[in-house]
Structure 1
Amino acid sequence: MLDKMLYNTILSQTLSPCGKYLVAGNIYGQIAVFDLDNIFNPVVELLTSDYNKPKQIHTLESGSQVCSLITTNKFLVVGTVNQISGWDWKAVGHSKLGKPSWTIEIRPQVQFENCDINCLWCSEDEEKLYAGCGDNIIYVFNLEDGRVIHTYEGHSDFVHCVHGNGQQLISSGEDGLVLLWDRRTKKSHNKIVPHSNSKVQRPDIGKWVGAAALDNDWIVCGGGPRLSLWHLRSLDVVTVFDIPDKGIHVSLFHDDCVFAGGVSKQLYQLSYAGDVRVELPVSATTVYSALLATQPRKVLSIAGSSPEIDLCTTFNYRDQVLHFR
């Protein structure tokens, strides 16, 4: 009998607030909980051959793929299809997950029967939850009562990525747009169209933008168009990164460095000038999720089209390989 877990694809990851647990979600509606304390600081006398496998694997009742995960101080927030649910962190480590503490139903426009919750981002005060969805809309929910308090509408195809920095929000989508939003006025005030720029366009791969991130002065984005660095105020492209990928799904800033991955067997760490600082081999043939944390534990976790998750504590090489199967 064919073991479907050999063909597992991991779409999302998050850490518990205490940093003890890594949680990963896959295309089969499963949530794996890994005990990082046991993995990084094992008691040799108690070490077993399955120490790098999940402590628990929970299967959601809906069976819908786990498109996105995010952590608040109290809840593990899970985005699937047409639904966002929150579980109290105290329940996540138990052998049986049980019912969620709360559930938000997404009711997409008529032409969209199913709406994937592709990405989640939470405001710094954890009062508002932003969800980029398959019906082209970014929903903003009040985490106290789950009601929709605003929608951001400007994409004409499904939203791949939502990320915030201060009062600014950035989003990217299948339509090839990178939109900048002011969280105070709740309006889009600028945009980038990478596929229209001759320096970054790759018509053979497409116009979609799979990842975009924002810091105080810079935007990094990529997808079908090449991974590129843009100046936030002028919206000029400053650096086009020369890496051999066939599409970007992950990009983020850390310590004056850009981390990026996608359809490639490497996760790249790049200087703003475009130099490759680290070319990190990964288990997945396509990277869909890269989780980087410095507190309460320093860890870089990389996952995608593989049952394996690569863990790095120095960010320069793999310390551990976890098995989601």
Structure 2
Amino acid sequence: MLNKILYNTVLSQTLSPCGKYLVAGNIYSQIAIFDLDRVLNPVVELLTSDYNKPKHIHTLESGHQICSLATSNKFLIVGTVNEIYGWDWKNAVSSKLSKPSWVIRIPSQSPLEQTDVNGLWLTEDEGRLYAGCGDNNVYVFNMEDGKLVSTLKGHTDFIHSINGKNQQVITASEDGTVKLWDTRSGSSHNKLEPHTNSKVSRPDVGKWVGSAAIGDDWIVCGGGPRVALWHLRSLDAVTVFDIPDHGIHVSFFHDDCVIAGGAAKHLYQLTYSGEVKVELPVSATTVYSVLLSTNPKVLTIAGSSPEIDLCTTFNYRDQVLHFR
């Protein structure tokens, strides 16, 4: 019987508040805890052959895939199917995972409904947790008591990603739209439909939008349509990035650059004017998760592979971690 872990797909990653642990979640209900400190600062005399493998692997009893991960100062936050779990960090990085500190259940119209929590975004003050879900809705929860604060409705198909900045939340959906929401009013005040723009449309790949992020003056998004830079106020496509991909699942801003990846052989760092600054080869045939941290300085790239690429200079792949 073939080892299913060879066909592993890592959907999500996050970093512990101390920066010592990388957490990755896969389609087999497993959470891997990597000791980044050991990987980045090895003591040669104590180095073992499994230094680049997980320190611990926790398997959830539910059997549901780990769709999304987030970090607060106190908790590892795990989005699965129908539920969001919170484990205190001491417990999360221990050898055995006990019961979660808290559980939030996604509101359901039917007991048979299976709702994937595809994206999590925590406000800067850690007071609100936004969950972009497979039932087309965004649910906003109070982190103090876990109660539902509001529901953001408007998408007509499942939500792929959710991010936020400056009292705005941005969501990308299978329905082909990107919506901007006001965190104060809970209403959608603007939307993009990239597939209707001839410069970015790719009907052969589809209209879905896999990822969107917001900056001070810009939006970056891609999916079936090409990854492009849009002006926040005018909602015009200013730069269309010409990279060889068959669908974008990751896009975000970093240091006056755009990071983008998906069904491609590389993760790309792009200038706002459209130039390819860095092409990073990736192990995964499709990238679903990219984590970038400046403390510690590390970039990790994961997707449809048991390997997670690790870069410390953001310019080339230093090491490969093995989720096996």
Q: Is the 8 A contact 1:269 1:276 kept in 2?
A: yes
Q: Is the 8 A contact 1:10 1:289 kept in 2?
A: yes
Matches of 2:76 and 2:105, distance apart in 1: 17
* 1:257-296 to 2 correspondences below 5 Å: 257-295=257-295
| Match status 1:48 vs 2:48 | yes
Matches of 1:254 and 1:112, distance apart in 2: 41
| Match status 1:182 vs 2:209 | no
* 1:1-325 to 2 correspondences below 5 Å: 1-110=1-110, 113-295=113-295, 297-325=296-324
Deviation of 1:186 after TM superposition, in Å, equals 1.2
Q: Is the 8 A contact 1:310 1:321 kept in 2?
A: yes
Q: CA RMSD in A?
A: 0.9
Q: Which amino acid in the other structure matches residue 90 of structure 1?
A: K
Deviating more after overlay: 110-119 vs 260-269: 110-119
Matches of 1:21 and 1:47, distance apart in 2: 17
Q: Secondary structure at the match of 2:45?
A: helix
Deviating more after overlay: 179-188 vs 218-227: 179-188
Counterparts in 2 of 1:118 and 1:213: CA distance versus 1, 3 Å: same
Q: Which amino acid in the other structure matches residue 279 of structure 2?
A: E
Matches of 2:13 and 2:317, distance apart in 1: 17
1:73-93 Cα distance to aligned partner (Å, 9 max, x none): 000000000000000001012
Q: Which amino acid in the other structure matches residue 300 of structure 1?
A: L
Q: Which amino acid in the other structure matches residue 152 of structure 1?
A: L
Q: Which amino acid in the other structure matches residue 60 of structure 1?
A: L
Matches of 2:247 and 2:51, distance apart in 1: 34
1:41-81 Cα distance to aligned partner (Å, 9 max, x none): 11101111110000000000101000000000000000000
Matches of 2:109 and 2:157, distance apart in 1: 13
Matches of 1:40 and 1:223, distance apart in 2: 33
Matches of 1:44 and 1:92, distance apart in 2: 27
Matches of 1:191 and 1:320, distance apart in 2: 40
Q: Which amino acid in the other structure matches residue 30 of structure 1?
A: Q
Q: Which amino acid in the other structure matches residue 303 of structure 1?
A: A
1:252-309 Cα distance to aligned partner (Å, 9 max, x none): 10000000000011000000000000000000000000001112x1111100000000
Matches of 2:94 and 2:51, distance apart in 1: 17
Q: Secondary structure at the match of 1:45?
A: helix
5+ residue gaps, structure 2: none
1:124-172 Cα distance to aligned partner (Å, 9 max, x none): 0001000000000000000110000011101000011111001111111
Q: Secondary structure at the match of 1:5?
A: helix
Q: Is the 8 A contact 1:109 1:135 kept in 2?
A: no
Deviation of 1:108 after TM superposition, in Å, equals 2.4
Deviation of 1:107 after TM superposition, in Å, equals 2.6
Q: Which amino acid in the other structure matches residue 157 of structure 1?
A: D
Deviation of 1:226 after TM superposition, in Å, equals 0.3
Matches of 2:111 and 2:97, distance apart in 1: 33
Matches of 2:109 and 2:158, distance apart in 1: 12
Matches of 1:93 and 1:174, distance apart in 2: 34
Matches of 1:169 and 1:318, distance apart in 2: 32
Matches of 2:257 and 2:111, distance apart in 1: 41
TM-score (norm 2): 0.99
Matches of 1:27 and 1:254, distance apart in 2: 28
Matches of 2:266 and 2:201, distance apart in 1: 21
Q: Which amino acid in the other structure matches residue 216 of structure 2?
A: N
Deviation of 1:94 after TM superposition, in Å, equals 1.2
Q: Secondary structure at the match of 1:28?
A: coil
1:92-122 Cα distance to aligned partner (Å, 9 max, x none): 1211101000001113234971000000000
5+ residue gaps, structure 1: none
Query: Where has structure 1 moved over 6 Å in runs of 4 or more?
Result: none
Aligned residues: 324
Counterparts in 2 of 1:282 and 1:126: CA distance versus 1, 3 Å: same
Q: Is the 8 A contact 1:32 1:57 kept in 2?
A: yes
